[in-house]
């Protein structure tokens, strides 16, 4: 049986690579000394790409591959793939929804608790041997009485809302449109949501539509008790505005799992001890990453067998 040709712009988990090697002729762009030469040599043969979040699959790359039919992306967010261009050119883009929802929602709640109650700083306090001198100071924030605004009440947003209800939080949200299956108060602007709550949880996708949506105005609306949690995409927050808001006391604190220029985190954020910074670990357990990896492979295998992938994104709906 012939193996279709697949381009790998960057390395993926070994369990993905092993399965891809068995079903496809894999061309590793990242190992080529001359990437341009490799691309020119294999361009006509490539029908599939498997990609991760740190490599751009843009119109420039896809446009060089005249027989490309599918881009299988690792991760539910696919802002590094130009899915609109792909859709317009008959190319499927797939992502890995659902299999990471609960893990990311767990991370979101952990990050919220860590931030409100300063658990990382208090643990550093113990390890530094300061406890015998005096107890760690009482935290200014608590989850008690907090109102949680969810920016992006989708699959992950709803899983967070379910958990937050268990913690006794009041919940409201902002999407582009009202969710038909949610009874929480809806705000038709992000600023309106921020003004109505004191805790803002970002769970929207990245990309142009949400770029710097969390601006100075939104942070001012959130207010001096405000806590910002971001487990969506770093580009959604204007990081410079956030740093200023934290320094000036415009909001109280922030818990961030994602950043504008990963893996580079501004020193100005690192210098603020009371905030919580995680290295984009929202879905990063062996269990969940394996499930995501398997879905990357299964999308490609299903497409190879039937011409249809399992989880195409909305810009590239299933065609017969
Ligand atoms: O806007 P809607 O009604 O399509 O609701 C979606 C909302 N959303 C937005 N809200 C306001 N302004 C926007 N420009 C905008 N774009 C999308 O975000 C929906 O409620 C939510 C996304 O939910 P799902 O598509 O179900 O994605 P999931 O699995 O919850 O993952 C969310 C994001 C990923 O894209 C990664 O960036 C991150 O979480 O891991």
Catalytic residue among 89, 274, 280, 315: 280
Give the chain's mean pLDDT. Answer: 97
Ligand 1 in contact with 201 (CB < 6 A)? no
Q: What is the structure's pLDDT at 272?
A: 97
Name residues whose C-beta falls within 8 Å of residue 18's C-beta, 6 or more positions apart in sequence: none
| Dihedral over alpha carbons 298, 301, 306, 308 (to 10 degrees) | 50
Which SS3 state, helix, strand or coil, does residue 312 take? strand
Told to judge if 252 belongs to the known catalytic residues of this protein, a careful annotator would answer no
Dist CA 1 CA 127 (whole Å): 59
Q: What count of Cα atoms within 13 Å lies in the side-chain half-sphere of residue 117? A: 11
Predicted confidence (pLDDT) per residue in 223-238, tens digit:
999 999 999 999 999 9
Q: Is the pLDDT of residue 319 over 80?
A: no
Q: What is the structure's pLDDT at 317?
A: 74
* Average of per-residue pLDDT across 266-279: 97
Which SS3 state, helix, strand or coil, does residue 34 take? coil
Task: Give whole-number Cα distances, 144 to 71, 106, 140, in Å.
Answer: 45, 19, 11
Task: Give whole-number Cα distances, 183 to 146, 157, 161, 166, 171, in Å.
Answer: 18, 13, 11, 16, 10
Dist CA 235 CA 210 (whole Å): 8
Dist CA 33 CA 51 (whole Å): 19
Predicted confidence (pLDDT) per residue in 156-212, tens digit:
999 999 999 999 999 999 999 999 999 999 999 999 999 999 999 999 999 999 999
Told to judge if 233 belongs to the known catalytic residues of this protein, a careful annotator would answer yes
May I ask the CATH class of domain 5-97+287-306?
alpha beta
- pTM score: 0.97
| CA–centroid distance, residue 22 to ligand 1 (Å) | 34
| Dihedral over alpha carbons 282, 231, 292, 78 (to 10 degrees) | -150
Superfamily for 101-277?
A: NAD(P)-binding Rossmann-like Domain (3.40.50.720)
Catalytic residue among 233, 239, 252, 260: 233
Ligand 1 atom at shortest distance from the alpha carbon of 177: 3
Q: What is the structure's pLDDT at 19?
A: 98
Q: What count of Cα atoms within 13 Å lies in the side-chain half-sphere of residue 185? A: 14
User: What are the sequence ranges of the domains in the chain?
Assistant: 5-97+287-306, 101-277
Q: Is the pLDDT of residue 320 over 90?
A: no
Ligand 1 in contact with 150 (CB < 6 A)? no
Ligand 1 in contact with 175 (CB < 6 A)? yes
Q: What is the structure's pLDDT at 53?
A: 79
Name residues whose C-beta falls within 8 Å of residue 250's C-beta, 6 or more positions apart in sequence: 216, 219, 220, 223, 224, 226, 244
Question: Given pLDDT bands bounded at 50, 70 and 90, which one contains residue 256?
Answer: very high
Question: Tokens at residue 208, please?
Answer: 């142009």
- 183 close to 162: Cβ distance less than 8 angstroms: no
| CA–centroid distance, residue 267 to ligand 1 (Å) | 29
Told to judge if 287 belongs to the known catalytic residues of this protein, a careful annotator would answer no
- Residue with CA at minimum distance from ligand 1 atom 29: 155
- 256 close to 269: Cβ distance less than 8 angstroms: yes
Q: What is the structure's pLDDT at 2?
A: 86
Name residues whose C-beta falls within 8 Å of residue 317's C-beta, 6 or more positions apart in sequence: none
Ligand 1 in contact with 193 (CB < 6 A)? no
* Average of per-residue pLDDT across 139-147: 98
Ligand 1 in contact with 146 (CB < 6 A)? no
* Average of per-residue pLDDT across 303-319: 90
Ligand 1 atom at shortest distance from the alpha carbon of 176: 1
Predicted confidence (pLDDT) per residue in 69-106, tens digit:
999 999 999 999 999 999 999 999 999 999 999 999 99
Dist CA 104 CA 254 (whole Å): 17
Same topology for domains 5-97+287-306 and 101-277, yes or no? yes
- 297 close to 20: Cβ distance less than 8 angstroms: yes
* For ligand 1, mutation pick of 205, 212, 282, 292 (most atoms within 8 Å of CB): 205
Q: What is the structure's pLDDT at 265?
A: 98
């Amino acid at each position: 049986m012939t193996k279709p040709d697949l381009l790998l712009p960057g390395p993926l988990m070994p369990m993905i690579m092993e399965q891809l090697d068995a079903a496809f002729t894999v061309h590793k762009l990242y190992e080529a000394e001359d990437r341009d030469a490799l691309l020119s040599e294999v361009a006509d043969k490539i029908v599939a790409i498997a990609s991760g979040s740190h490599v751009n699959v843009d119109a420039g790359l896809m446009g060089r591959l005249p027989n490309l039919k599918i881009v299988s992306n690792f991760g539910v967010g696919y802002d590094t793939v130009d899915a609109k261009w792909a859709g317009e050119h008959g190319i499927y883009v797939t992502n890995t929804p659902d299999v990471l929802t609960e893990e990311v929602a767990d991370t979101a709640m952990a990050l919220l608790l860590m931030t409100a109650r300063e658990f990382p700083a208090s643990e550093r306090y113990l390890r530094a041997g300061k406890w015998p001198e005096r107890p760690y100071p009482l935290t200014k924030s608590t989850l008690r009485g907090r109102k949680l605004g969810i920016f992006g009440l989708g699959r992950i947003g709803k899983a967070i809302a379910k958990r937050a209800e268990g913690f006794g939080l009041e919940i409201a949200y902002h999407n582009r449109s009202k969710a038909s299956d949610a009874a929480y108060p809806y705000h038709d602007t992000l600023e309106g949501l921020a003004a109505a709550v004191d805790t803002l949880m970002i769970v929207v996708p990245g990309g142009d539509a949400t770029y710097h949506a969390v601006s100075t105005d939104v942070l001012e609306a959130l207010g001096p008790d405000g806590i910002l949690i971001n487990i969506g995409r770093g580009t959604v927050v204007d990081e410079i505005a956030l740093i200023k808001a934290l320094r000036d006391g415009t909001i109280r604190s922030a818990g961030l799992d994602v950043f504008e220029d990963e893996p580079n985190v501004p020193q100005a954020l690192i210098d603020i001890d009371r905030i919580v910074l995680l290295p984009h670990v929202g879905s990063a357990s062996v269990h969940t990453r394996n499930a995501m990896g398997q879905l990357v492979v299964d999308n490609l295998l299903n497409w190879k067998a039937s011409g249809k992938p399992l989880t195409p994104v909305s810009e590239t709906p299933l065609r017969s």
